[in-house]
Each structure stands twice: as C-alpha cells, then as structure tokens.
Amino acid sequence: MINSLIENKNLILEHAETSAAYYSPKFDKVVLPKKKYFLSSQKYYATTFHEIIHWTGHESRLNRLKGKSFGDDEYKFEELVAEIGSILINFELGILDEFINSLRYLKSWSEAGDKTQEERIKELQEAFNLSKKAVKYIKEN
C-alpha cells in the first residue's frame, strides 16, 4: 500500500535520524524516524499511516488541512481525522496492538478545549467521515 502511494500518487516519504514523525504541508512530505527506532513494526506502521492520512489533507488532494498552529481547533480536528484513518487502515491490515494507544490519543484530542459532550460527539462523527474519505483516497490507484 505504501509503495503504491509512492509510485502512483507521488507520496514523498523520508526516513531520518529524528525522534518525531510528521507531515510537512510546506514540503508536502512525510518524515519518519528510521524503522529501527520504533519498538515494533506495528508501532511503525500505525505512525506511518497516521502521517499519510495527514498527507491526504493537502490542498492538491482532499484539501482538508486548515490548522494554522499547534493546538488550535482545526489542528485538533485534523489529529482526530488522522488517528481515526490510521485505525481504519490498521484494522484492515490486522494491526491491532496499537488500538488502545490510538483510543488514548483520540481521547486526548477530543477532550481538549471547552466543547460540550454533544459537540465532541458531532466532531468525532465528522472526523470519522473525513477519515473514511482519506482511506478511500489512499486505496484508489
């Protein structure tokens, strides 16, 4: 799946001597620590798919990235989209070990801010719908 994205959709994926994984909208690339730095291959792939979901939000793809700075509402929402999308792909590929960590991650971003429970539920539903679109984009060749 990842090789197909690199070949067919021009995904730029770099492995670096870094401790952080991220998607750079400015350079339109995913940067990951080298695989050897992850505790398991499942952690590596869960992280990789999270960052690739961010990549789908670029204006030339699904035009979803809106956050201007770390922690603003749009940034928080995008983190929900990316993690839910990663969960969907991981389940499809049988990567289940990271599910609890993903739930914790979702909880931390969905509880951030001063939204009511009803607003958070609506936000999670919208994030789920957008993450399904991102996964569909990834799977289309």
Helices (H) and strands (E) in the chain, counts: 5, 3
More confident residue, 73 or 113: 73
pLDDT at 141: 62
Q: Which among 34, 66, 63, 69 has a CA at the least distance from the CA of 48?
A: 34
pLDDT at 112: 66
Q: Is the pTM of this model over 0.85?
A: yes
Backbone angles phi, psi at 5, to 5 degrees: -65, -40
Q: What mean pLDDT is reported for the chain?
A: 91
More confident residue, 66 or 137: 137
Indicate if the pLDDT at residue 82 is higher than 90.
yes
CA-CA distance, 114 to 135, in Å (whole number)? 29
What's the pLDDT tens digit per position in 22-72? 999 999 999 999 999 999 999 999 999 999 999 999 999 999 988 667 778
